[in-house]
Amino acid sequence: MYLTVDKGNTRMKWALFEGDRLVRLSETGEPLPREGVERAIVCATGALELESLGLEAERVTVLTADTRLPIALDYATPETLGPDRIAAACGARCLCQGRGCVIVDAGTCITVDYLDAAGVFRGGAILPGIEIKFRALHTFTAKLPLLTTVDATQEPVTGRTTREAMEAGVLTATRFAVEGFVAHYREREPGARVLLTGGDANWLWGEGRLRVEDCVWEPYLVMIGLNEILKENER
């Protein structure tokens, strides 16, 4: 059994895999039992005490760009490439079965990355996430309120109140940006599939907001990718 740990900017997730099957998940940060775990892999955007995993260090892989991967990295500064982006691309390679992929990870930041059909990570874009944008409007102005996706009641293109204008500037503009990047990457590879993940992906996915074809919401994409990396390193 493999243990995968994803420590993001705002939360920590744990998952146990038997082969390709996800058998247990914790999205609250609460550790999972380690009985029967043969190997573990950690994807951390910040510091993490490996002792908290309760496993011998030699049984734990800390994901970096130097880790053996089931994909290739065409990235000028691989040492700066976030491990979450690497893991999501490895998960996309598994799920897309040799097709090109556009990977949209809507977390604290939103990343839109392109993995071609040959399994080469070609890079992408990093955007401020939805909550960051709302907070910036409130923090750096004198009168604009603090909104969140929970507060937002609609997604207007043209706001007719200050609140609607803020929602248009954040929510609609976020959707337009993602759709624009998808269109850009599909100019290179028309058959590329779109995979959504991350805490705000449910907002993009819900009510038909993201207007792109061949789009799949996979909330556990990073975990799937981490499992694929462990399998690659056991071969």
Distance, CA of 233 to CA of 215 (rounded, Å): 30
The predicted model gives 158-175 an average pLDDT of 89
Among 20, 74, 84, 113, the active-site one is 84
Tell me what the pLDDT averaged over the chain comes to. Answer: 90
Report CA-CA distances (Å) from 175 to 79, 181, 199. 30, 10, 15
Sign (positive or negative) of CA dihedral 185, 9, 26, 205:
negative
Per-residue confidence (pLDDT) for residue 153, from 0 to 100: 60
Report whether pLDDT(116) > 90.
yes
Question: 57: exposed, middle or buried (C-beta count within 10 Å: 0-12, 13-18, 19+)?
Answer: exposed
The predicted model gives 32-39 an average pLDDT of 87
pLDDT tens readout for residues 174-183:
999 999 999 9
The predicted model gives 87-91 an average pLDDT of 97
The predicted model gives 185-210 an average pLDDT of 88
Report whether pLDDT(185) > 90.
yes
Residue 151 a catalytic site member: no
The fold adopted by the segment(s) 65-129+171-234 is Nucleotidyltransferase; domain 5 (3.30.420)
Per-residue confidence (pLDDT) for residue 152, from 0 to 100: 64
